[in-house]
Amino acid sequence: MSDAHGSVHELREVCHDIRQPIAGVLALAGVALTEAELPEHTRSRLEQIVKLAEWQSDVIENWLEVSGDGPWGAGHTDVIRVVNEAAAAERLTWAGDLTLVWPPERVFVRPHPVIVRRMTANLLANATRAAGLSGTVTVEVSRQGRHMLLVVQDDGPGFGCLRGGHGLGLAAVARHAARYRGRLESGRGSLGGARVSLRLPLAASRIEGKGG
């Protein structure tokens, strides 16, 4: 067994182990939510914990599928739904102005929903960190020919001016985009800060707008 193969095998074992405490968190939160006199603000926080724990569980399950023999693509991921979910999670910890814009028709791409969610979450985290606590971030989804375009802009200092850089997030997004014959581009946006655009091919059966 090569070192690389051994490392992947060990990481898969760790992911299997992590699933158990996540399941425990979901179970405990579920029990707490059944309490009759639970304050509404506490109930809301528990529901948020459940959503985030479910999301982490999905990430792990998807990685286990990807690192094994499972398919990389889901085929029909609803981008607008995934972006809304990622934005809702970001709003839990960021109080700035987050605006979402999307076309009237639904937009579908091939990558698994978890992959699209991870890419979106990374782009949002970069943008909100750059914008600061009271900044502005816009997210726009559109269709351009045979592609989906996701554009994230912020009113922060722009690339090269943010302390700590942009970490591993953008590199991970670019890597996933390339795997699906897409691309990630960045530059200066209309808000004065960074503008990052993610382009992915539309799902094959949705290119002409067919299907529901």
Q: What is the predicted pLDDT for the residue at 78?
A: 94
Mean pLDDT of 126-142: 93
Q: What is the predicted pLDDT for the residue at 207?
A: 55
pLDDT in tens, 67-81: 554 444 456 899 999
Torsion of CA 129, 133, 134, 135, to 10 degrees: 0
Amino acid at 201: P
Q: What is the predicted pLDDT for the residue at 112?
A: 82
Please report which residue ranges of 68-112 form alpha helices under DSSP H.
79-91
CA quadruple 176, 103, 143, 94: dihedral positive or negative? negative
Domain 73-206 carries which CATH code? 3.30.565.10
Global confidence as pTM? 0.68
Instruction: Give CA angle at 111 (149, 127), nearest 5°.
Output: 50
Backbone phi and psi for residue 192, each to the nearest 5 degrees, phi listed first: 100, -15
Q: What is the predicted pLDDT for the residue at 115?
A: 84
Mean pLDDT of 183-204: 93
Place 96 in a pLDDT band, splitting at 50, 70 and 90.
very high
Backbone phi and psi for residue 92, each to the nearest 5 degrees, phi listed first: -65, -30
For residues 194 and 153, the answer to whether their CB atoms sit within 8 Å is yes
**Mean per-residue pLDDT of the chain:** 80
Mean pLDDT of 108-126: 87
Q: What is the predicted pLDDT for the residue at 165?
A: 46
Q: Which segments of the chain are extended strands (E)? A: 73-78, 97-101, 108-111, 136-144, 147-154, 183-188, 194-201
Collapsing DSSP to helix, strand or coil, 194 comes out as strand
For residues 145 and 186, the answer to whether their CB atoms sit within 8 Å is no
Q: What is the predicted pLDDT for the residue at 164?
A: 46
pLDDT of residue 183 exceeding 70: yes
Q: What is the predicted pLDDT for the residue at 199?
A: 97
Which helix H or strand E contains 51, and what residues bound it? Answer: helix 40-67
Instruction: Give CA angle at 140 (128, 110), nearest 5°.
Output: 105
Place 211 in a pLDDT band, splitting at 50, 70 and 90.
very low
Place 151 in a pLDDT band, splitting at 50, 70 and 90.
very high
Between CA 2 and CA 97 the distance in angstroms is 48
For residues 40 and 60, the answer to whether their CB atoms sit within 8 Å is no
CB atoms within 10 A of CB 93: 8
| Lookup result for tokens 């996933």 | 176
- Domains of the chain: which residue ranges? 3-67, 73-206
Token pair belonging to 2: 């090569």
pLDDT of residue 202 exceeding 80: yes
pLDDT of residue 1 exceeding 70: no
